[in-house]
Amino acid sequence: HNDSVSTVYGHNDSLLVTVGQQVSVGSRIALSGNTGKSTAPHVHYELRINDKPINPLENPYD
């Protein structure tokens, strides 16, 4: 990502990378889990621009 874009993945069972580590498209970064206030295993995904969450379906960088 560029400096203004970040992604957040939550409810992971375990992390396979470290913060700031560069990864390639398709790389495994975590294993899905059921942590926090979750009712079933899933991946929580957020796209943020300048630390503000945006709708990933409206990604201006597509």
- Global pTM? 0.68
- Domain regions of the chain by residue span: 5-58
Q: Which residues contact 41 (CB under 8 A, 6 or more apart)?
A: 11, 13, 32, 33, 34
* Per-residue confidence (pLDDT) for residue 20, from 0 to 100: 85
Would you give per-residue pLDDT tens digits along the chain (62 residues)? 677 888 888 899 999 999 889 999 999 999 998 888 888 888 888 999 999 998 888 866 66
CATH domain 5-58 topology: Glucose Permease (Domain IIA) (2.70.70)
Rounded-to-integer distance, Cα 49 and Cα 4, Å = 5
* Per-residue confidence (pLDDT) for residue 31, from 0 to 100: 92
- The per-residue DSSP string of 5-28 comes to EEEEEESEEEESS-TT----TT--
Run of H or E including 48: strand 44-49
Q: Which of 57, 51, 42 is CA-nearest to residue 1?
A: 51
